Amino acid sequence: MSDIKIDQILDLKGVPCPMNFVKTKLKLESMQAGKILEVLLDDGEPIKNVTASTKEEGHEILKVEEKNGYWNLIVRKSR
Amino acid sequence: MALKKYNETELLDLRTGGVLKQIQKDYFILRTRIPGGHLKAEKLKKYAILAKKYGKDYVHVSTRQGIEIPWIHIKNINSLLKDMKKFGILKGACGPRSRNLIACPGSSVCRFGFVDAEKLAMKLDKVAFGKEVPKKFKVAITGCMNSCAKPQENDLGFQAQGEPEVDLDACIHCTLCAKVCEKVCARGKGQPAIVMDKDKKPVYRKENCYFEGDCVRVCPVSAWKTKKVGFKVYIGGKVGRFPRFGTEIAEFVEEKKIPKIIEKSVEYYKEIANKGERFGEALDRTGLKKAKDKIL
């Protein structure tokens, strides 16, 4: 999956729910449609909730991957 | 002005109409019902008018999704009932009859809901409300396994559930489905319903599924979808002085069967219960097997 070009990175490790989703949403709103955001999230509720909520907002999720104790969520901004 | 004297029959009539005596002399509480808890803003204004005109400018929001207006003086009851009718506000029940059917919002707004429980409750009001019964009879409908409308605490409860299925071609092998399954299905059933094989592909084992939909919600690419929706049915639940959870008697019951199940449950309750006895108490004597045969 090294062909995905990441435009922005948001490190939300240590940021609790629902602030992590709010920050993700605001970041996506500041970006142009089609641009790609990588979000770093804690294990447990954060990765579960932010993934579900980002999907519900209509963005395209390209990849969800566990790294060393945290998660990478890669999202393409929708219109 | 001399006050009208009410005899026992008239008092009973007032009670069935949702008018309850307060502890204070000459004052009554008006109990209304709001099927499914869905109340138009315009009608809410009418409640305000009544509370100002007849009560003490406040209402009590009941635990059964009704609004009660206390401090109605006995001489104003008739005129209040007229106004209430004009405004299209529905009377609640007291005494030995079935009560307001309660519901959570369900899928109308809630991300967990499998069905629009609120809309369903409004539709079922006619079937469930105001039937003469030995004690009382309460029905609840809830849109998912979170049980917000507490179907287990009602004489008859319906709880929506959903069976998931996975499209492996769409799967991106993130493993989140197995992760959420571990938290819910594994807790409810002892074993998770979703496990990952060595290629990080989900393997679904229906016998362990709790049918609550977390896998569908969390799946980033919608590879998990809800295949089938139905209702768990609980009977005999109550709270009161001697609480008792309802017993599950069926799974994945179709929505269109609900009106018949309500009717038959009320009928069976009347058949088996002594005066003053709740459904669950009567079921403790007569057993579940016969109840299932009669109701389902």
Q: How confident is the model at residue B95 (pLDDT cuts 50, 70, 90)?
A: confident
Spatial distance between the Cα atoms of B178 and A49, rounded to a whole number of angstroms? 15
In one-letter notation, the amino acid at residue A35 is K
Residue B50: both structure tokens together: 């009544």
What is the distance between the alpha carbons of residues B182 and B174, in angstroms, rounded to a whole number? 15
In a domain, B219, yes or no: no
Using 50, 70 and 90 to split pLDDT, how confident is the model at B287?
Answer: very high
Whole-angstrom distance, CA of residue B173 vs CA of residue B148? 33
Is residue B150 domain-resident? yes
Structural domain range at position B21: 8-91
> What integer pLDDT is reported at residue A3 of this predicted model?
78
Nearest-by-CA chain B residue for A49: B218
**Structural domain count of chain B:** 3
Whether residues B154 and B251 share a domain: the answer is: yes
Are B212 and B200 spatial neighbours (Cβ–Cβ below 8 Å)?
Answer: no
Contact B92, B33 (CB under 8 A): yes
Co-location of B40 and B178 in the same domain: no
Q: Is A17 a catalytic residue?
A: yes
pLDDT of residue B42: 97
Q: Is residue B97 part of a domain?
A: no
Prediction ipTM score: 0.88
- Single residue among B62, B91, B120 that ends a domain in this structure: B91
Contacts of A73 in chain B (CB under 8 A): 220
Say how many CB pairs under 8 Å bridge A and B. 29
Q: Which residue has the tokens 């038959």?
A: B264
Spatial contact of A75 and A37, defined as CB atoms under 8 Å apart: yes
Mark whether B51 and B106 lie in a shared domain. Answer: no
Whether residue B188 is predicted with pLDDT greater than 90 in this model: the reply is: no
Residue-wise pLDDT for B46-75, tens only, equals: 999 999 999 999 999 999 999 999 999 999
Say what the pLDDT of residue B9 is.
Answer: 65
Residue B5 has pLDDT above 90, yes or no: no
pLDDT reported for residue B211: 96
DSSP string, A34-72: T-EEEEEEETTHHHHHHHHHHHHTTPEEEEEEE-SSEEE
| One-letter amino acid for residue A57 of the chain | E
**Is there a single domain that holds both residue B71 and residue B139?**
no
Interface touch B176/A63, C-beta < 8 Å: no
Q: Give residue-wise pLDDT tens across range B229-275.
A: 999 999 999 999 999 999 999 999 999 999 999 999 999 999 999 99
Rounded CA separation B270/B127 (Å): 15
Q: Is residue A3 part of a domain?
A: no
- Output the pLDDT for position B15: 62
**CATH code of A44's domain:** 3.30.110.40
Strand partners, B181: none
What pLDDT, on a 0 to 100 scale, did the predictor assign at position B34? 95
Q: Is residue A1 part of a domain?
A: no
Mean pLDDT of A66-76: 94
Whether B291 is in a domain gets the answer: yes
- Indicate yes or no: CB of B111 within 8 angstroms of CB of A65: no
Q: Are B154 and B138 in contact (CB under 8 A)?
A: yes
What pLDDT is recorded for position B238?
97
Q: Which residue of A has its CA nearest to B178?
A: A48
Measured between CA atoms, the residue of chain B closest to residue A67 is: B174
Shared domain for B154 and B183, answered yes or no, is no
User: Contact B220/A61, CB-based, under 8 Å?
Assistant: yes
> Is residue B125 within 8 Å of B87, Cβ to Cβ?
no
Question: pLDDT tens digits, residue range A23-56?
Answer: 999 999 999 999 999 999 999 999 999 999 999 9
Q: From CA B64, how far away is CA B138, in angstroms rounded?
A: 9
Q: Strands A36-42 and A8-11: what pairing?
A: parallel
- Total domains in chain A come to 1
Alpha helices in chain B (DSSP H): 8-16, 41-54, 77-87, 117-128, 176-183, 185-189, 214-218, 258-272, 279-286, 288-295
The residue among A41, A29, A25, A31 whose CA lies nearest residue A8 is A31
Give the per-residue pLDDT at B11: 67
3-state secondary structure of B37: helix
Q: pLDDT tens digits, residue range B209-227?
A: 999 999 999 999 999 999 9
Determine the pLDDT at residue B275.
94
Residues B286 and B234 in one domain: yes
Q: Tell which of A49, A55, A57 to mutate to test the B interface (max B CBs under 10 Å).
A: A55
Options A17, A31, A62, A64, the catalytic residue: A17
